[in-house]
Amino acid sequence: NAGVTQTPKFQVLKTGQSMTLQCAQDMNHNSMYWYRQDPGMGLRLIYYSASEGTTDKGEVPNGYNVSRLNKREFSLRLESAAPSQTSVYFCASRPTGYGYTFGSGTRLTVV
């Protein structure tokens, strides 16, 4: 009963490096999401995928790309990391018309 699994849990990058954050859910949910959380700013939507094969931009998509690999997996890629991307990243999934299930988060620091 894993729910939403995110890897890695912690990461330190140098400016300009790239990385992919992985997310997988085992609840057969259609919709998946990537949010970032910064102190005092709540959760801001980066990208989402309403169903397998579709992705859409959220509030803060610049500097990120996503891939919905299959129904279970939704990855977030930083092509050239910047210090402004230092944040906690949460992946979430949801069944239609109900609440999100969040992963435990990835704490990313860009130096």
Q: Are 107 and 10 in contact (CB under 8 A)?
A: yes
Question: Taking CB under 8 A as the rule, does residue 53 contact another protein?
Answer: no
Looking at 1, 2, 62, 99, which residue binds another protein (CB under 8 A)? Answer: 99
Burial of 70 (C-beta count, 10 Å sphere; 0-12/13-18/19+): exposed
Q: Does 43 bind another protein (CB under 8 A)?
A: yes
Binding flag, residue 89, another protein (CB under 8 A): no
Q: Is 34 in the site for another protein (CB under 8 A)?
A: no
Pick the closer one to another protein by CB: 17 or 44.
44
